[in-house]
Structure 1
Amino acid sequence: MTFTYSICHPEKKEIDYKNQHLSEEEVLEIAQNYPWEEKLNFMKSLGEKVYYNPSIDFKCIENGQSFCLTAMYDDQNKLMFSLWYNRPKKVKVLFGLLGESEKMVVDDFWSLNLNDSIKYLEYFVEKKYSKIEDLYKK
């Protein structure tokens, strides 16, 4: 599978879309090596001129699903992440009276550390989608 990605920088209004195609290994390398804490500390120095928390969104070219990691500090100033998983999901049309249809929905989960966030990103690139969906059922 191949992926593209985009980056939200705290100081930039425009999202930085990267058009290069990435392998599964490159996706994991980018997320693991991104300067998350450096970007968060820089964000603090911006005061009210912050556009985004540091974020990287990876999109699978083949199926259109995406997985985003967004960094923040918790109350104890520890690095934490929210995950945003954009996936197809069956939804009821008109309370189920007209059956079901499939549409893309975004599920989010908050307060994960870097290691756990990378683990779920690994599930994403390995197409182990049910393991990600289990996170949202907890």
Structure 2
Amino acid sequence: MNFKYSICFPDQKEIQYFNEPITRKEVLEIAKNYPWLEQIHQADAMDQNKVHYSPSIDFTNLQDKRSFCLTADLDDNKNLSFSLWYNRPKKVKVLFGLFGEKETMIVDDVWNYNFNQAIQFLEHFVNQNYQIIEELYSHR
């Protein structure tokens, strides 16, 4: 199974896309070794009107097109905190169910997860343990 990814940098208007296929192991290495705190401190030191994004990495499964994004910030205690964005197919009712259901891509997010928790959910994503991730979003 292969993935592609993109990175949002605080000081860059354009998102950087990396479309060369990478493995599950490489996904986890990229997320674990990314300079999250350095990027947050860089954003904090900038003129806030010139900050384009919070530090973020989005990984997409090339086979099923699901994606999982980690976005970092600092919590009130100045600890690293992540929001987790999950884009996946989901059945939705058309016109309140009058025309049945159709499958469409839906993005949901949850907040306030520490680094280890974020990596753990990313690991579930790359291993296609989607039910565990769905449970995360159903308990919001």
Q: Where on the TM-score scale, by shorter chain, does this alignment land: which range?
A: over 0.9
After TM superposition, the structure 1 = structure 2 runs for residues 56-135 of structure 1, keeping only pairs within 5 Å, are 56-135=57-136
Q: For the residues of structure 1 that align with 2:41 and 2:72, how far apart are their CA atoms?
A: 11
How many equivalent pairs are there? 138
Q: For the residues of structure 2 that align with 1:132 and 1:47, how far apart are their CA atoms?
A: 36
RMSD between superposed Cα atoms in Å: 0.6
Q: For the residues of structure 1 that align with 2:105 and 2:25, how far apart are their CA atoms?
A: 25
Q: Which runs of 4+ in 1 moved over 6 A?
A: none
CA apart distance, 1:75? 1.0
CA apart distance, 1:76? 1.1
Q: For the residues of structure 2 that align with 1:136 and 1:4, how far apart are their CA atoms?
A: 23
Question: What is the match of residue 29 of structure 1?
Answer: 29
Give unmatched runs, 5+ long, in structure 2: none
Residue type at the aligned position of 2:104: K
Q: Matched residue of 1:28: which SS?
A: helix
Identity among equivalent pairs (%): 56
Give unmatched runs, 5+ long, in structure 1: none
What is the CA deviation profile of residues 18-77 of structure 1, one whole-angstrom value per residue up to 9, with x for unaligned ones? 122110000000000100001101111112210000000001111111000000001111
Question: What is the match of residue 16 of structure 1?
Answer: 16
Q: Matched residue of 2:105: which SS?
A: strand
Residue type at the aligned position of 2:26: E
Question: What is the match of residue 45 of structure 1?
Answer: 45
Residue type at the aligned position of 2:137: Y
Q: Matched residue of 1:95: which SS?
A: helix
Residue type at the aligned position of 1:112: Y
Q: For the residues of structure 2 that align with 1:47 and 1:117, how far apart are their CA atoms?
A: 28
Give TM-score scaled by structure 1 length. Answer: 0.98
